[in-house]
A = this chain, B = another copy of it.
Amino acid sequence: MPNDWSSSGFDLHIDIGTAGGRRAGLELALREAVRSGRLKPGTPLPSTRGLAKELGLSRGTVSAAYDQLAEEGYLTVRPGSGARVAEVPASDPAPAIPATAPATPRHDLRPGLPDVSAFPVQAWLRACRRVLGSAPPRTFGAGDPQGQPQLRAAVADYLGRTRGVLTTPDRVVITSGFYQSLGVLSRVLTASGIGAVAMEDPGHNVYREVVQRAGLATPALTVDARGARVGSLAQDIGAVVVTPSHQYPTGVPLHPERRQALREWARATGGLVVEDDYDGEFRYDRQPVGALQGTAPDQVVYCGTVSKTLGPALRLAWMVLPRHLVGPVVRAKQETDMYTETIGQLVLAELIRTHAYERHIRSARLRYRRRRERLLEHLAAFPALTPHGVPAGLHTLVTLPPGGMTEQQLMAACADRGIAVRGLTELHHRPTPGTPGGLLIGFAASSEHGYPIALEALSSVLADAAR
């Protein structure tokens, strides 16, 4: 293998042209590699003996080429330490990498994110060691488009125990996040002839876009103090996406009568209910409301994720499907990316199996409950602001009084202070001037240390606004 740079322990591609002689070809190739930045300043080059052997040249030829390039300033050659790439400005200097990922704000009060500073790094590493230490070789081969059986079994067991979900592992599909779950499911619905999926208003705008990209209409399902007004669902709507445990963004649970009405609508029309249980693990005043799926497993697709419990970086989520949808959804998932990566799935399965996952959630729940109480204490100083929803989840919606600062003004004032919150307006399907503004204040995203500071900063902005 003539391209082995044995002495430096890595490979280098150089193409030696034949015109003009081999020494000139080597010089040209090295010059171009340095000039283009492919060979970085300071990189050690192979010994003359090593490179000569690998390229089938004489050692003298390589040595002469090195000397020539050293004279030209491309290399530095020191007796004893060999040749290195000199500090030559590359012809096309690398521009700074554009930050396509959002930067972490100074005061992180974004909704929908857990406190990732509490990510269980040690538990993750231990589980990773256990899982990979005993993994059969096929673990690193082709994965399962439906998800690793170990994770599907762990998820089925976990959801049955903690969320009242009725399932078996063969009805669980693992995906790379709820965003992907909804995209895959939307394509299956489109292919099955469905043309419209009702979505809560207000609701998550990003997910509306996912459904729309699959070619589906997203008629508005308005939300009131009892959650989604499911009585208004048309007969010809093929499916509906709801957040029954804790409506996003208002924070109200779907009223029992509405749950019943939704099940009846699904049974009567054959419509499908997509239950987005995005933060169902977090209820602070009582036992969480069980998943809707548990009472209508043939009408409901239950969707969960680790993005709100461990962190979105893992890209791991699950769907529990009515049996007839398993095949189509697995095929659609396969057409997207073959399957979700295996190692993360196995580590998560191990964390669930050993209850480390639930211990992490319980610990987070205690902290978030206190944080929510602190937020409400702070907000109590501003009686014009109305907090909504039950003690649950990772955020609280606050609506703004008419006549005071607008949402836009408040958001700008927050941004000036480095406070990241989210505005309510964009979550409405068709915001009108009359729509009351609001802020979604996330109490989970900060670190324990940063949270009180973030709250003080927010209070100070609100106090200015109230003046």
Residue positions of A touching B, CB distance < 8 A: 1-4, 9-15, 33, 36-40, 54-55, 92, 94-102, 104, 113, 116-117, 119, 121, 124-125, 128-129, 132-133, 135, 137-146, 149, 152-153, 156-157, 160-166, 168-170, 176-177, 179-180, 183, 210, 213, 283-284, 286-291, 294, 310-316, 330, 335-344, 355, 358-359, 361-362, 365-366, 369, 445, 447
Contact = CB atoms under 8 A, between A and B. Distances in A.
Contacts of A156: 94
Contacts of A179: 337-338
Given A132-B125, A177-B337, A142 B101 contact: yes
Nearest to A157: B40
A141 B311 contact: yes
Given A116-B137, A337-B315, A13 B162 contact: yes
A113 to B, nearest CB: 6
Given A121-B133, A170-B94, A143 B341 contact: no
A440 B101 CA distance: 42
Contacts of A286: 2-3
A335 B207 CA distance: 10
A184 B232 CA distance: 38
B10 A213 contact: no
B335 A163 contact: no
Contacts of A117: 137
Contact of A149 (B40, B97, B125, B145): B97
A326 B228 CA distance: 40
A39 B365 contact: no
Contacts of A165: 38
Contact of A166 (B36, B97, B104, B365): B36
A298 to B, nearest CB: 11
A214 B15 CA distance: 37
Nearest to A138: B104
Contacts of A312: 140-143, 338
A105 to B, nearest CB: 11
Contacts of A288: 3, 13
Nearest to A310: B140
A204 to B, nearest CB: 13
Contact of A128 (B128, B170, B369, B447): B128
Given A160-B37, A170-B94, A313 B137 contact: no
Nearest to A160: B38
A116 B445 CA distance: 39
A141 B170 contact: no
Contacts of A343: 313-314, 344
A313 B342 contact: yes
B176 A341 contact: yes
Given A33-B160, A97-B153, 5 more contacts: A2-B286, A95-B168, A104-B141, A125-B133, A143-B313
Nearest to A295: B15
Contact of A132 (B121, B135, B365): B121
Contacts of A36: 160, 166
A348 to B, nearest CB: 11
B39 A160 contact: yes
Nearest to A55: B287
The 8 A-B residue pairs with the shortest CB-CB distance in the complex, in nearest-first order: A38-B160, A140-B311, A101-B144, A117-B137, A94-B168, A313-B342, A116-B140, A3-B287
